[in-house]
Amino acid sequence: MTPLQVYRDDGPLAAWLGRTVGAALRLGEVPLTLLGALPLVVALAWPLSALTTGAAALAVAVLVLVAGAASGRAEPGRFAWVTPPVLRAVEYGAFIKLVALTDGDWMPACYAFLALLAFHHYDAVYRLRHQRLEPPAWVRWAGGGWDGRLVVASALALAGALGPGLLVAIVVLGPAFVAESVVSWLRFVAAERVATYEDEDVQDE
Amino acid sequence: MSIAAHSGRPAAVDRAPGARRRAAAWAGASALLYATTADAGGGPAALLRLDAEGTTILGRLLGQLADLGVRRVWIVTRPAWADAVRREAAGAPQPADVIVAADIADDLRATADVAGRASDRLIVGRSDVLAHREALAGLLADPRVTTGVLATTSGRRGRWAYRTRSARGRMLSASSPFHSIRRPSHFFLGFLKVDRRDLATLEEAAGRLAELADGPGRARFEEELARKVVVWRRRRWQLARAAQTGLWPDPEEIPLDPPLDPADEADVAERLRATRDDAGAMLVVGLVRSGVHVSSSYLRNFFYARPRSPEELAEAQAELAALDEDAVLLDAAVKGADGFFTTYFVSPYSKYIARFAARRGWTPNVVTTISMAIGAGATAAFAIGSRAGLIAGAVLLQAAFTMDCVDGQLARYTRQFSKLGAWLDSIFDRGKEYLVYAGLAIGSTRGFGVDVWTLACAAIALQTARHMVDFSYAAGRHEAIAALPLRDLAEPDERDGPPAAAAETEAEAQAAEGELPGPAERAEPPEPERRGLRGIAAAGVRFITRLEKRPATRWAKRIVALPIGERFALISITAALFTPRTTFIALLAWGGFAACYSVGGRVMRSVAR
């Protein structure tokens, strides 16, 4: 996979949509992502009091269907870099909105969950940058991908169980993500391969 | 030769746990040096004598290389100078063989031969260079540079050097006596390090390059060199005319074979003598055009000169003696393109902490861990939820950030770059920041009765998405650069050149600015006219690039981007003076603006491309 594909963090659902629906679509990866994200962006900007959990879940469904269909393309192009940050922004935003809609008291758990997701996403970047290796597929699949996470979160929100669900996810995924990452770095330190350091001139480290 | 020895630094480094291992990794390095350039008097420039040190430029260099772990040396020289070079080589601290070569084609064949025999990394260099040991160490002993060159943006240091173009840490194009370049960004200072895995490519490229300069190819080679001489002469004429009339003459006004005054004529002749046998530059072209990832080690403020006469040597020695190598090394340990707050409020004192840590033998990873621990302390203080707690947290956060700068500076100062270090540094940076957000949110609920968890969630989402923009944009550029077609070695002109869009990074924009024309630079091609959206975007990119040229606007641009130093300062100040709620609103407002600014700029660059 190319780094940009790894950054997308697609789960099995998006991969399947890409192979089936996506293969039949003419539209490129970036337009599909932007189009799919549009309803959710509107939902995120919508006042909390005027938004229902059902409407938010519908926007999530559109995102998963349309942006998920662009999975697996690895289209090169001037704008290819746009997709991963858009997926991250709408994914993190959707979690915040869903928790706010269902039970705002769970916001600390939402923060912890976002911190865990952030670790998962930074980890992929740093491993590609320094080890020149992407995290193994099982880690991505265990995390469900942005698509899987959002579908499960929407279902839990509709069932009124998003807060406890986030706690369970933290307890189950947290140790798995961290342990797998640490093991990969220890293996890398012991290995013959040299570290690569690209983008030394990058501004904000 | 012992400039570095009395600074006390190497002894301190030797105590560091990593030092022995690193030295062992260097045991197999060897070097090939060209002593093929004539000085102004026609003798070998490498054998100009440094009377005070009782050696020659070559002898001094051999000592420096031995000190840096180069265990074996080959010196390529011309038949007339062979005996003198052999005498010098006999006194070298490491085994040094002399190879006699008649011309640049022979030099390249000798290089192919040595590359075939070398078993570990090979340094290819010039032997007429008077430089700081640390300037060479930056290339030789830095594990981050696997295959790379010593480079500078300084026209003064690169006076006799061929130019190169780099983007995002990778060399894209290089020039040589045979090959020309468009839109150069750097000067190649004659030293090239080739990783073991690239030796076969070097061998093959050197063999092919030798053919270009030999036999039936010889006439074409001389023709290209003559074309360069024409470019230099026309440029001289242009400069002289501008000095005379005060007006910059149009390119069409310049005669094809302009008359020059004797001083300019002598200057062009000297340039030709100093650059015509630059086999090293040919090899760099060979590696780049073979698809090898060639990175750069920058000279920074270290000394480098290629004296061409005893007078120039005396001047160079005087300048070298006036520079404090350890001070230059410490300055070079400070990251080149950093944020405003870091550059002016942290690095000026954190570098002394880095030197202190180096003398104590601390490793960068220890400092990174200390920084994380202080960051956890700041989190705990913020979480108390009192004014005193917020102030203590603000101070601790600044202490943690200082140590965060120290670890990188210590790593660069002592060249201790561990595989774990870069990751630990990155992950702890993020960890610290996001822990502090949580601490502030806890403190706000406990002490101020305000629930700001939603704001904290928004802040972590925004910051992660902002980083993801940086990472993705960089990855996209790397992909585009890696996909560029490779040009054949036998093609002298870089015809279609790079896209006319602006430089990739700020550093490159600065580098591309106002330098003297190098020996192999072709005249700029006219920029293609662009219409519509692309034209507007290109104008926007030009505007942004222009902002880079003035320090005030350059710093303003960097501050707007809210880099880590500014972010941590913003957290500390707003938390100490106001409440955590204010901190998050400030982070979201400024960060949101920064996100719009950076995404807008990158979209514009992408449109213009």
pLDDT tens string B106-141: 999 999 999 999 888 999 999 999 999 999 999 998
Are B141 and B70 a contacting pair, CB within 8 Å?
A: no
pTM of the shown model: 0.88
Record: contact A76-B169, CB cut-off 8 A: no
Contact B561 A195 (CB under 8 A): no
Residue B425 has pLDDT above 70, yes or no: yes
pLDDT-based confidence at B549, cuts 50/70/90?
confident
pLDDT for residue B530: 66
The four Cα atoms B33, B38, B41, B46 give a dihedral, to 10 degrees, of 0
Q: Which of A76, A89, A111 sits opposite B456 (nearest CB)?
A: A111
Return the pLDDT at B27.
Answer: 52
Checking DSSP bridges between strand B72-77 and strand B96-100, what pairing results, if any? parallel
What does the pLDDT read at residue B442?
97
Interchain contact, B437 vs A111, CB within 8 Å:
yes
B316 and B344 share a domain? Answer: no
Over residues B513-536, mean pLDDT: 55
Instruction: Specify the pLDDT at position B528.
Output: 56
Per DSSP, helices labelled H in B333-363 are 340-341, 347-360
Which residues sit opposite B501 in a β-bridge?
Answer: none
Looking at the predicted structure, is the pLDDT value of residue B510 above 50? no
Final residue before a domain boundary, out of B332, B357, B387: B332
Which H or E run contains B165?
Answer: strand B162-167
CA A17 to chain B, closest CA, distance in angstroms equals: 23
CB atoms within 10 A of CB B585: 17
Task: Flag residues of chain A having pLDDT under 50.
Answer: 199-205
- The predicted model gives B370-384 an average pLDDT of 97
A128 assigned to some structural domain: yes
Q: Is the pLDDT of residue B206 over 50?
A: yes
Residue of chain A whose alpha carbon sits nearest to that of B296? A200
Please say if the pLDDT value at position B527 is more than 80: no
Any domain includes A158: yes
Take residue A105 and report the two structure tokens written for it: 């008291």
Residue from the list A93, A111, A202 with its beta carbon closest to the beta carbon of B441: A111
For residue B20, name the pLDDT band (cuts at 50, 70, 90).
Answer: very low
Retrieve residue A147's tokens. Answer: 């698509």
Provide the token pair at A130: 């320094």
Q: What is the mean pLDDT of residues B551-566?
A: 92
Q: At what angle do helices A29-45 and A53-68 cross, to 10 degrees?
A: 170
User: What pLDDT, on a 0 to 100 scale, did the predictor assign at position B287?
Assistant: 97
Report the CATH number that the domain containing residue A20 is assigned in CATH: 1.20.120
Contact, B519 vs B162, CB < 8 A? yes
Q: Calculate mean pLDDT across residues B305-320.
A: 93
Query: How many domains does chain A contain in total?
Result: 1
Residue A205 lies in a domain: no
Best CA proximity match to B193, nearest among B24, B333, B29, B343: B29
Residue B523 has pLDDT above 50, yes or no: no
pLDDT tens string B584-600 = 999 999 999 999 999 99
Q: Is residue A32 part of a domain?
A: yes
Contact A39/A59 with Cβ under 8 angstroms? yes
Tokens of residue B260, six digits: 């020059």
Among B346, B423, B481, B599, pick the best mutation site for testing chain A contact (most A Cβ within 10 A): B423
Does any domain span residue A94? yes
In this structure, the answer to whether residues B322 and B348 fall within a common structural domain is no
- Residue among A126, A204, A205 whose CB faces B561 most closely: A204
In a domain, A101, yes or no: yes
- The CATH number of whichever domain residue B431 belongs to comes to 1.20.120.1760
pLDDT for the residue numbered B53: 82
3-state secondary structure of B595: helix
- Chain A residue numbers with beta carbons less than 8 Å from the beta carbon of B601 are none
> Inter-chain contact A122–B464, Cβ cutoff 8 Å?
yes
- Bridging pattern class, strands B148-152 and B295-298: parallel
Report B:492-521 residues touching A (Cβ under 8 A): 505-507
- Average pLDDT over chain B reads 86
pLDDT computed for residue B364 by the predictor = 94
DSSP B108-156: HHHHHHHHHH--S-EEEEESS-EE-HHHHHHHHS-TT-SSEEEEE--TT
Interchain CB contacts (distance < 8 Å): A and B: 173
Q: Residue B128: its pLDDT value, please?
A: 95
The residue among B275, B309, B332 that closes a domain is B332
pLDDT at A196: 63
CB contact under 8 A, B169 and A204: no
Residue B231 confidence class, pLDDT cut points 50, 70, 90: confident
- Between B4 and B45, residue with greater pLDDT: B45
Percent of chain B with pLDDT over 70: 89
Is pLDDT larger for residue B240 or for residue B523? B240
Write the ipTM. Answer: 0.96
Q: Is residue A201 part of a domain?
A: no
Domain that holds residue A56: 3-190
The kind and range of the H/E element at B512 are none
Contact A126 B146 (CB under 8 A): no
Whether residue B606 lies within 8 A of chain A, CB to CB, comes out as yes
Beta bridge partners of B33: B75, B125
pLDDT at site B540: 86
Domain interval for residue B75 = 5-332
Residue B563 touches partner A, C-beta closer than 8 Å: yes
Domain boundary among B307, B332, B357: B332
Using a CB–CB cutoff of 8 Å, tell me whether B480 touches chain A. Answer: yes
Residue B495 pLDDT greater than 60, yes or no? no
CA angle B253, B255, B260 (to 5 degrees): 115
SS3 B102: coil
The three-state secondary structure class of A101 is: helix
Residue A96 lies in a domain: yes
The answer on B289 and B376 residing in a single domain is: no
- As for how many domains chain B has, the answer is 2
For the cut 50, the answer to whether the pLDDT of residue B344 exceeds it is yes
pLDDT beyond 60 at B517: no
Q: Are residues B326 and B347 in the same domain?
A: no
| Average confidence (pLDDT) over B280-285 | 96
What are the structure tokens assigned to B219, written together? 């006439």
Pairing mode, if any, of strands B30-35 and B122-126? parallel
Are B376 and B268 within one domain? no
The nearest CA of chain B is from the CA of A181 a distance in Å of: 11
pLDDT, position A205: 24
Same domain, B371 and B317: no
Identify the CATH number of the domain in which residue B302 sits.
3.90.550.10
Write out pLDDT tens, residues B41-82.
889 999 999 888 889 999 999 999 999 999 999 999 999 999
Whether A201 sits inside 8 A of B337 (CB atoms) is yes
CA atoms of B380 and B383, how far apart (whole Å): 5
